[in-house]
Structure formats: C-alpha cells, structure tokens
Structure 1
Amino acid sequence: MLIRWDLDSVTCTTGVATTSVQQAGAEGVSFTPDAGQTITCTFVNDADESQLMVTKHVANVAADYAWSAQITVTPDPSGASPVTVSGTGPADDTATFTDLVLNQQYTINEIDPGDGWSASELECTYLGSVHADEDPNVDGYQITITEPGSAITCELTNTANSGQIELTKSVAGLSPAADWSFDFELATGDPVMSTDSVTVSKAQPATVLTDLLPGETYHLNEVVPAGWSSDIACTVTSADGTTTMSSGPWTIQPGDSITCEAVNTADPGELTISKSVVDVADDLDWSFEFELAAGDPVMSTDSVTLDKAQPAQTVTDLLPGETYTLAEVVPAGWSSDIACTVTSADGTTTMSSGPWTIQPGDSIDCDVINTAKSGELMVAKQIDARSDQSWEFSFTIDPVPAGADATQTITGVGPSTETIQWTGLTPGVSYRVTEADPGPRWVSTDQGCMVIPARGGASSLIAHAGDGVNVAPGDHIACGFANTARGDLSIDKSIGEIIRLGGSRIKVSYTIVVTSDSAFVEPYHIDDVLRFGQGITVLSTSVTSGDAGINPAWNGMTSTELTNGQQNLAPSGRHTYTVSVEASVSATSRDESRDCVLAVGETGTGLANSAQLTYDNGVDEDDACGAAPSSARRLPRTGSEAAPLMGIGFAAIIAGGFLLLISRRRRRESDC
C-alpha cells in the first residue's frame, strides 16, 4: 500500500464459477480460482487529508498592546474558517486548518487588519520549498494540494505604523518684532517612564515628533513661563481618517497622527457677553450677532455670534492699550438693552458700556437683554353663496394668545369676504387655526397661510393653517379660508311608450334623469319602486345607463336600489337611466286598478313607478304612471306582436282612456 493512501474497500465477483472468494475489505482479498475462471476485483483507495498552518507575526507595538486577526481558507472542509489569532505585544500566533483534500485549490486570506497596519506578503512553504501564489490576479493566496497527507506552512507579518505629533506654536499680545521660545515635555508611559524635551521658537514655530510606539501612552505638557497664558488644542486623526478632539494623554493606535496648536497670550484683556431673551417661548431658537471694533478710528471689526445653545461667549486676546467698541446688530422684531461692568486687574469695578481702552488684565462683563415683539395673525374668509343665503362660520386658534378669545365667529348673508384677527402671538409658539365644521351644505377650503417676516425678505407659505404656523418676533401671518355653498341634485322621471306584446302581456319603459346644479362632485343613490295596480303582474325588469352603475338585482319590488351603490355626479352633470318592465294585465283587473288614481286602500295603481334620489344635501322624489290597458282589448296584429300604442291614433287614446300619464314630484331637503 502507498504511504498516505488508505485502502478503503475491495469488492470481487466470480462470475458463474463455483470457486469461493473471501472478501477481506481494506486488508485485501484471497481466493483460489478454478481453471479458466474470471474473477473481477475493484479496489477503492482514499488519500490522507492534508493540513494548513498560518503563523501571524506582529511587530512595532508596545509590550502590553493586545491584538487579534482572522485568517480564512476557502473552501473550508472542516468549517473552522475564519480562525482568530491573537496575542499581546510583539508576538505571533498560528491558525491551523485540517481536512484539506487532494487536488483541491485553496485560497488563503487575512481579513483586513484595519488602517494603520502594514502587512507583508503571505509566504508559504509546501513539499519542502517556497510555493508561489498560483494566481496572483485573484485576491488572496492560491495553493493546490498535490500530495496526500501533506502540510502547508505560511507566515505573515503585520507591522503597526508608528504615530506622530505635529506641534504648532503661535503667540498673541506681543509685538511682532519680539523673539520668543517655549519648551514642551513629551512624557512616555503611564506611569511616566521617560521624558523628552522639545523647543519651539519664532524661528521654528512647528515641529514633528515621530516614531511614537503604538500601544504606548504619551503626555505633552508645556512649560509656561511667567507672564503668559497657554491654550493647547489637539486633534487626533486615526489611520482611517476619523478625528477626535483630545489634548491627551494619548494611547497611540497604529497610524495615529496628532495635530496640536498651542497659543500663548501675553497678559490679555477679555470680554464676556451674556445674552438673554424675554417674551418668547422657552423652546424658541434664537441667534444674535455682535460687532467688536478695534481701534479709534476703527481699524478692524470682528463678529461674535450668541445663540440659545451658546448664550454666553468670552472674547479673549484684547490687546492692552487698544480701544474696543461693542455694538449689537439688532434684528427686526427685537429691542435691546445692554449693561457692562469693567473689572480691573486690581479688582476695582466701573460701569461702562464702552468704548473701552483696555488695561492689562481688564475683564469686561456685558449683560444683553433682547425683548421680542409679539406676532399677529389675520384670517381672511371668502364666502361664495347665493345672495339670499345666510351663513355663520367660526374659527379657533390653538394655543390661545394671552388675553384673547380662542374662537371668533363671523355671520352674514350672500357672497362676502370677511376678516378676523388675533394679536399678542408669542414668538416661538406654533399656532393652528381651524374652522368649525360648516355642515354638509358647504365645502370649506383651508387655503394656507402667508408668513410676512418682520426681518424683511421673501414671505413663506404654509400649505394649511391647520398644520400650524411657527411665529417669529414681529411676524405678520395672513391665513385664507374659502367656503362655497353646495348645490342640489334633482330627479325627473317620465313614462315612455306602452307596448302590447300579445295576449295580456305589455311592455312599458321609464326614463330617469338626475341633474346637478352643484359646483362639486356630488354622491347619490336611487331607489326605484314599481307600484302597479292590482291585477297587473310584473314578469321581468331591466335597467340600462350609459352614465352610471346599475344594480343587477333591481326588480322594483323585493330589490329597489336601482344604482349599484354610491354614484358620483360631476359638477353640473347629468345621469340618465332607462327602466323597462314587462307585465301581464289580468282579464279580471278592474278599471280602478289601472287608472293611475290611487284610491283609499290601494297600494298601487296603473303602471305607477316611484323614484327617490338621496344625496348629501337632501332627498328628491318623482313619480310617473301610465294607465294600463284592459286585457280584453285586442290590437290588430302586424308583423310583430309588439305594436306601439300610439299607433292606434290619438283620438282612440282619448276616447278609451287608454294612456294616461301622471307625474307627481316632491322634494325634501335638509335645513340650510
């Protein structure tokens, strides 16, 4: 048997011969063949699995710096990928992958260790020699198992990039011609293990400290000479580009770059401005600009911004001997009051709002109070109605301005434009104006608001007054509402031709017309009831309309809703329906049952048909009736059994009372 191969099984067949064959599995097979006998044996061999070991080395880190990385192999027969290797300080760790199979190409990768690291190329040894990447154009390192039971060993080194500090020095409050020099101490370790000195000067105001060991802690301190104040601000830029503000101490991460700016000021004066506002909502956001002018006459001007998030600010670096003037840029809608106290270096105080000639060590504190002007809101109401139509509309503001009524009502007759107004609106508050429901006879439109700012500039639009309007100091807000009176729908029913179909059978048709005088789409539905006289039996019914949906179940008796649910009629629109009914007139029917005169005790008469129109503004009804012919009367037959009744002549109709059309109309409307 070959080394690194296993005999998995042996299977033999003896054909038709009688010689027995002893199967021995992985140990082989034994048999004694008969003369001329054919024995066929199949041997199955398995290759021994191989393994991969990847060793990760880490360099240029502090002794207590903890690190970790992940190694992957694809495909991964053992399911272990990725494997995490880790350690502390300059060290190494090995990831092992087993069950690698013969003739399979594997891809080895290190998951990106992150910015700030430099990684060497993966170097692998296989079958006693260095093995080159089989496909350098593909990500990772490619290697194929060519021998069973073999081992691949790979090594990879990650070196942490050193950190650095860039220190920049500037001075203020000193003559431009003067020379200066400052010392800094860079301490290493926590606790401190060593200290290095760094000097910056007018000739060399910036320096770069390199080779900071990742994982080590560093402190940068300035040795501040008497007569100077120092301010240092540092930004730590990580290897991935993210920044944080920190003046230390810093535990260096791979690739960190720290930029420090140190400013030294000689005996400056300072000005503190504190801002407060009144007559506004607590959550109003506000901001004010100040101008600090230097010199007399003015040589330069600086701007200072105070807002709700930063209501106070101190202006430092006021040069002794210089004259300063503070002025507020007061926006429209505000008034301002300023009071300042000057505290000298010896502690004496004076009240002065400037201009000030600064003495060494002067400290000036100014309190500025701004009072906001209230806003106002006007509602313009447009009413579109008939000249004799009375109306009443109410509007409510929320929240309610101090001293005002929440709701105001306007009344009148006919078309008009009216206004109402609220004053004393608190800046910073969002006010909503809503109209009370005017009822179904009116269509109300919230036309939104225009905000006219006190500060000037373009007005802003709010789509709906009900959405709320935020008030700024001194704002004027104009909101518009329009109400239009809705019109009515009417129904008109007429009876058409009555046709005798032969024998006792007749056919009658009705036309129903729904008309709108409204300027809006109006929903409606129709109920239609057949109220035929006694002895007249409905045989079939049908309804057609090219304008609206029809209820297919309508029969005028047990199912009376003619329309298929709610229908919508366009402004000034018209819907037409045609109703057809076939009926049988009994020979025993009485003239009184067919005459379209509803007597006491009768529930129907003739070919009576009643329609009721129901819509938002009310109900309208109309009836139509035709006198039913006696079944005893026989019309001369023509080519069709359906002969128009009008064909017998107008005189015959009048004489026999054959056709009597009656139309009755009623309307019920809701109160306006």
Structure 2
Amino acid sequence: MIPASDVGKFDLLVDGNVEADDIGDSGTTGAVSVSAGKSNDPDPIGDTHTVGEAAGTNTDLSRYDTSISCTDGTDTVGPVAGIGPVDVFVEPDDAWVCTITNTLRQGTLIVKKQVINDNGGNATASDFTFSIDAGSAVSFDEAGGGSTDPLTGENSFQVDAGDYTVTEGVVSGYTASDNGNCSPATVVAGETTICEFTNDDDAPSLTLVKTVINDNGGTAAAGDWTLAAAGYDAVSPDAGTYDLSETGPVGYTLTSLTCDNAQGQVSSVTLGLGESVTCTFVNDDDAPSLTLVKEVTNDNGGTAVAGDWTLTAAGYDANNPQAGSYDLSETGPVGYTLTSLTCDNAQGQVSSVTLGLGESVTCTFVNDDLIDITLEIVKTFDPITVQVGESGTFTIAVTNLGPSTATDVLVTDLVDDALDVTGLALVPPAVGDCSASIGQSISCTVDILAGQTIEIIVDFVATAPFLPEDPVGEEGSQFIFVFANGSSLEGHSTGEVFYTDEFGETTQVDNGLTKNDYPFDIGGFTLHLSCSELFTGGWADNGGPNEFANPDWQVAFFSINRYNSGGLFKTCGGVVLPIEIPNTATATGTDDYPDDDTVSDGATVVIGEGDLIAPTVQITEPAHGATGVDGSALTVSGTAGDDVAVDRVMLHVKNLDTGQSWTGSEWVDAWVWFEASGTDVWSYAFGVGVADGHYQALAWSFDTSSKISAFSQSVFTVGTVSDVDPPTVEITDPAHGATGVDGSALTVSGTAGDDVAV
C-alpha cells in the first residue's frame, strides 16, 4: 500500500476466487496451488491463471492507482495497471509471486478567503489564517489564484483523497461563514474541492442616552434634547470615531458625557467592529441665583441704613434655588416709602421676580425717607391798636420743627381790606419767593430747614372800606354802614340796598328812603345820610342809633358820597367806633407722613377812630371868572388843608367850547382827572399852549384817611373871546337856612343870568 498507513481494505483474487479478504498493507493470500496444465494439452505443459483484486470493506477502488506485477524469478508479468485480472502462465513447479500495489490516488484542496468590509473594517485576506486537520496556521495568499484583490485569498493543496477538517483563526470584529465544504472538506482523488470562508466585518451599534436632572425647578424631559454622533449612520453603521454633541433647552448644563467603552468624560466615541456602545449625556438644570439689594435715600432727614430692612422673595431658598416666580416684599423702618422696585431681567417696576434656569438676577429696592415736617405759625400785630391813616406792621412767623426740610411751603394771608398793604419783606430773604403777592393777598413760597423759623413782615396803613373815589356818580347818596355787631348796610338812595348779617349772609332789603333818611327796620332806627351826622362814638343825634339803642347797633364805620348834578357834591365818613379786625395766616407744606401739614394762626388788630374831618381845597389861579388868561403858560394852582394831612389833589380841566377833558397829556372826549403836584400848596402847569376859549377847572383834595373834600371850581376864559363874563345863578326858594319847609310839595327854584345867554 502506498502509503503503507492507508487503511484501505482489499480482496485478493486468484482465478476470480477470493483468496484473502479485507487485507491491508503487506496482506497476502499465502501460497495458492494452481494447476500446471493437462497432459493431453498439445501445448507445453503449463496453465494460465488470473490474478486480481476487488474492493474490500469500505474501500473505493477509484481512489487508488493499482498495478499488478508477477515474477517466478525468471519470467515476469507486468507491471500491469489496473486491478486485473492479469494472466500468469504457470508451469509445473513454478513459484510465481504476484504483487498488487495500491497507490492512494491524490486530489486538490483549495481554501479560499473573501473579506467583506462594509462596516468600517480594514482587514485584508492575509490578516486571516486557517489550518487543516488542526495543523499549523496558514495565512491566506492574497495573490493566490492570480487575484489582485487584497480582500480575497486562495491557497491550493494536493492532498490524498479523503476528508479534511479546515478551520480558520478568529479575527475580532469579523463574523466567519463557509460554503459548507470545509468541515469536512472531502477531497476526491483527482478532483478539486473548494473550501471557502467569508468574513464580514461586524456592524457596530451606538446608543445615545439622555439623563435629565431637574433639581432646580427645571421641567424639561429627555425628549427635549437632540443627541448626535456626527457622521454616524444607524442604518449602515461603520466602525470609527464620532464627535458627540447635543442641542436642547437653555438653562441646563451638560454635567457628564460618558461612553461605556471608554474611561472618564469624553467628547467623542470610537466604535470598534461589532462593538455595542452606549453613551450617556447627563444634563442638570442650572440653579438660578437671586440677589436682593437695598438702596436708601435720606434726603428728608432720615437716618436709616440698608441693613435696617429685611428683603424677601417669598419661597426662594438660596441653598436650593429653584426656577420660578417669587413675590417680593420688605419690612423696615417707618417713615420711608418704597419708591422703586426693579429687577434687571424685567422692564419697569415689579412686585415679583421670575427666575429662569441658570439666570442670575438682581432686584433693587429703593426707599426714600418721607417728608416729615411739623409746622408752627404765629401771627402778631405791632401795634395791636392803630388809628385810621396810621401805619402798622404784622409778622407771620413760620417754624419747621422737622425732622425733614420743608420745601415749597405756601404761606398765605388774605388781608382784610381795612388794612391797606404797603410793603412786604421776607426774613431771611434767600429762603423763598413772595413775588406772587398781589395787593391784599399775601402769597409766599419758602423753604424752611428743620428747626428754622422764617418771618414774613407786612407793612400796612389802617383804613376802612371807603366808597370809591369817583367824582361822577348817580344822583343821590351812596352809603355804607358797618355796625358794632359786624353786620353792614350798603346801597344807594335811588337804587338797591343790601344787608349783610354778622354771619356773612347777604339779602336785599326795601329802600324806603325819604329825602336823606333811610328807615333801617332791622336795626330799629332811621339813618341820616346828609353828612351832617358824624355818628360820634357810634351814636347819632339826628338819625341813627342813639345811646338808648342796643349797643350792638352802634355805628363802627360809615362812608357817604353825595352826588348832585352828576358830580360829587359831598363826602363824609370814617371809623367812629374802634373796629376789631381779625386776620388769619396759613402755612401749608408737603408732608408725606402722614399727609400735608397745614397750620393757621389768627391775630387781631383794632382800628381806632383816626381822622374824621374831610380835607378842604381852593383854586386860587386862575380865579373864578377870570378873563384874558394867558394860554401859552397856563398854570392851575391853589391850596388844600386837613386836620391831619393832605394826601393828594386831583384836577379836572374841561374845555367848555369843545366838551373835551385834559388827561395830563392830551384832550379827550371823556371825563378824566389827574393829579396835581404838591399837597397843602399845589399846582399844575400845562407845559403846552392852551387854545383860546372857555374853561372849567375842578379840584378835590384827599387826606391820608381817604376822605375827599368838596370840590372847588374856577370857570375862566383863555385869550380873547366874545363871551367874556361867566353866567350867574341863585337859589331863591327854599331860602338858604330856611326851616319848616313842607316836604310833601318841595320845590327848589331860582334865577340865572349871563351877558350872552344861559
């Protein structure tokens, strides 16, 4: 047997008979006796026999090349290929030995490799090995079979026919498969068996996981993030390195990014072939922070500091801050107001703060000290009794007891008309402004430091509510009476009459005037209006309250203007009983705690009787009736007198030919008067030429108690005119000084004359 170790079994045949069965290498039939021919055979003695073999148990003869050779030492047969039978001529006494040689026939075993790199693998065929029947590892030949593809390999072997086990070494990341001809690989003698391995790179897998920690008020869920491995395709995953990233809600911090195939924190993942990797992104909601700041403005005397307040965001825990909304509040000293509460993540004023995740917010409380003032006001008169026409002073002293500075304090005083304001001073002058004061209305705006006192000093002249100084009025008597009880009566003898009681209520009363007597029913007496009654001491002799009347009805003041022929005929009046004039000043300052501070103080001044006698006046030049007066330098002059003092002289000059009046600068078609120069001795120079013609000059004097004199008249002629002499007039009835005149049918009559015509 070749090889001798071959396990094939054969049956040995002699003349077709099995002489030895299932023998192997060196097996023999032993000596087999055969005939050497027949005696009657015409051929030489001997006989032909056959030698051959047949397959034994489990032996396939096709796997072998067989040859038979025989020899008797002299002659040989063969070798003859095949299993026979082979003829051998055996002569007597021959000893033939036939040898059958079975040579195991070989086949071709080809081992192939196919590498598939469709998931990022980079191995080639030569990176793989195989072994046959657990023999030594053999690398695949990438050039085998004439291939130029490094992903294929082929190794060819001539092997004995038989079954072989072909295995390959393991290469990580690749999955092996074969074509089914590898274990076993059955090699048939003379044929080719192909064992082919296919190695496909294993697809990696990547799982990205999101873990969300909401321990600071966050509400986001894992699904709110998008996780990415740049370039990774889950449908066709490749081994390789991929940068990791995420997008998602603000207010979260990526606190951890790990992959289970790497140590520590990562920013990318490397996937090996066949590797299943999980990478976990951990996001923690960012803790917000809140800072509460207190600012204190002490501009009104306050002394509190920021630390005196407690600032609160209800529910906020600085040790475990949560996103959300928190109501803001504070507690602190009284006397302050919260003027501003702002947060730097919001517009305008707020009452709460909303904290977003990771947001750092500062909220500022601003408190301003309230204006807290206490004002005191004291009003005093000096002197406390002043006569009509005399000067006096009253002082309004305002003190600010603090603790704040009092700004824009308004000090007002509506001064009674009986006190004619002549001057005003502020002490100290720098603290305010009294420019708003007009006439009898005192109005000053001042700033008063805490503890400071300011004074408003008002000068006045004591007067009384005299009737207007109008030299032209309605015929009759205009009058006003003020009584001791504070009530008053005012009206005109031919018009309406009004009574005002001590409470200020005014009503119209009947006018039952008879001649110069007014029946005052409310007081229970008749008032005489002729100016012959001076109501001395508040009592009357001819008409009015007498000493037997109720003293509340004493006349305290009276003023009468009598008009005749359209002009002021006579005036009288004055204070006849001391009048108590109450007067109140008020100061108001802005005070935020709790509200504006307003104080008032009243004071009383008594106005005494003063000057009761009206002044006098006389025109001396031109003399009444003068003619040929020089109009180029016309001057009207005269004298005036009073028991106290003359205050001024007023003139009216009229051109009787044109009806125009002189204003002091021009002639106009209206009744006007103007002031002369001087008092006791007075004059007025025209300063311009006066045309020839007839002129009338009227003069009145006023004393310091505002009483007015009866007028003085001069009618004169300027230049040369045809009518030189003035007219004359005389009242004949009732005669001057007549008494007992019948008032029921009174008639006044007389005569008039002129050199030309009346």
Rg (Cα) greater in structure: 2
Which has the larger strand fraction? 1
Length-normalised TM-score, structure 1: 0.28
TM-score, L = length of structure 2: 0.25
